[in-house]
Amino acid sequence: MADSTRYPLPFVPHHQSPETPGENPILFAFRGRDLLVTNDLNLPSVEEIDSQGVEAVRTQYLGRLGERHCYSAELPHDAQAETGFRFADLRMLFATLDEMIHTLAGRAVQIVEWDRTHQYCGVCAEPTQLSEADRSRSCPKCKIPTYPRLAPAMIVAVEKGDQILLARSPHFPAGIMSVLAGFVEPGESAEEAVMREVFEETSIIVKNVEYFFEPGLALSELSHARIPGRIRFGRDRDRRRGNRRGRLVRGGRDAYRLPGQDQYLAVADSRFPRAERAARP
């Protein structure tokens, strides 16, 4: 077994719970995809979560952050938060949760959701069993393992000169726009996903797709693409698709607001000086 004291990352993932939770464990309790938090949008202690008196449907061990063991819990869909607590979407919690805790909450919600939706075999409907060997559930009859599903996605800043392309989706609140993003389809490269999504959403053909960050193991990429020449939006296409429409903007606070949030798209790179300025409320 590898020497865990030499592990190169602050969080050590593992699927098997230790015998005792040890001191000051971390617990992410979800109702659906919403995390139980304090009214000031911070993570409650395990004692505070216990005091809600809500029994979890199931729990999962996530791993260890430093010396602290981390767990997730799926609460019943009708669970109510006590006074002083609330349930919040993780996107609401960017600014209040510690960055590492927020990242772990993102990991937790995916494992909770995977566990909830893979209780039965998709082939023979037999109840699945948790593997002792890895983070998977297997059908005892078919022996087919299912693992937490990863959904590679891309997000792209399409630039033209000092302008950036933003679009809005029908489910965004009024006045909110964002850079384009989407999931990578089977058999598609991240670069192809960028070209397809931008064309599907705005009828714009992008060519010079570059990575903004190195891909590494992170499958969610921020790319940027430059468009030469004049841009024409496909207005007929936009009309058919409802109110999704692209536009180029030259900054302004609302232009860089993240959907539904009082957060701003802060891109800390010298190639986006305007976005950095806009990121300051």
Kindly list the residues in this chain that would bind Zn ion in the complex (CB under 5 A).
121, 123-124, 126, 139, 141-142
User: Minimum distance from CB of 148 to Zn ion (Å)?
Assistant: 19
Nearer to Zn ion, 126 or 200 (CB): 126
Distance between CA atoms of residues 21 and 269, nearest Å: 41
Q: Are 130 and 114 in contact (CB under 8 A)?
A: no
Nearer to Zn ion, 142 or 205 (CB): 142
Distance between CA atoms of residues 257 and 265, nearest Å: 6
User: Minimum distance from CB of 131 to Zn ion (Å)?
Assistant: 14
User: Minimum distance from CB of 136 to Zn ion (Å)?
Assistant: 14
Distance between CA atoms of residues 168 and 159, nearest Å: 17
Nearer to Zn ion, 41 or 144 (CB): 144
User: Minimum distance from CB of 237 to Zn ion (Å)?
Assistant: 44
Distance between CA atoms of residues 102 and 28, nearest Å: 10
Nearer to Zn ion, 115 or 197 (CB): 115
User: Minimum distance from CB of 143 to Zn ion (Å)?
Assistant: 8
Nearer to Zn ion, 103 or 131 (CB): 131
User: Minimum distance from CB of 119 to Zn ion (Å)?
Assistant: 12
Distance between CA atoms of residues 212 and 154, nearest Å: 11
Q: Are 66 and 100 in contact (CB under 8 A)?
A: no
Nearer to Zn ion, 84 or 122 (CB): 122
Q: Is 175 left (phi over 0), alpha (psi -120 to 50) or beta?
A: left
Burial of 240 (0-12, 13-18, 19+ CB in 10 A): exposed
